[in-house]
Amino acid sequence: VVNRDWRLSIVTLSDGRVLSGVVTDARERAVTLVTPTERFVLDRDDVESIVQSDASPMPEGLLDPLAPDEVRDLVAYLRHPVQVPLP
């Protein structure tokens, strides 16, 4: 189950471009879309449509190579309030 705030959105622009990412802010005059590599602030007048997918922005099968105990350990680590800082 993917929280509504983190569902993938497909945004079609009036110039024909199609962008996909997470809509982090949607206001009367602008929409903010975050992709894995960029952040776009789009003028509402340039947006033809926004379709929210039920799919997660995470790739399918990401946990497939892991053993069940590795998945358990990863989820426990991510749920912990503090992770190990990077060097």
pLDDT at 60 (0 to 100): 82
Nearest to 45 by CA among 21, 15, 1, 7: 15
pLDDT digits (tens, 9 = 90+) for 46-85: 999 999 987 766 778 889 999 999 999 999 998 988 877 7
Instruction: Name the pTM for this structure.
Output: 0.64
pLDDT at 67 (0 to 100): 97
pLDDT digits (tens, 9 = 90+) for 22-56: 999 999 999 999 998 999 999 999 999 999 987 76
Token digits of residue 46: 């340039």
Residue 77 has phi, psi (to 5 degrees) of: -60, -45
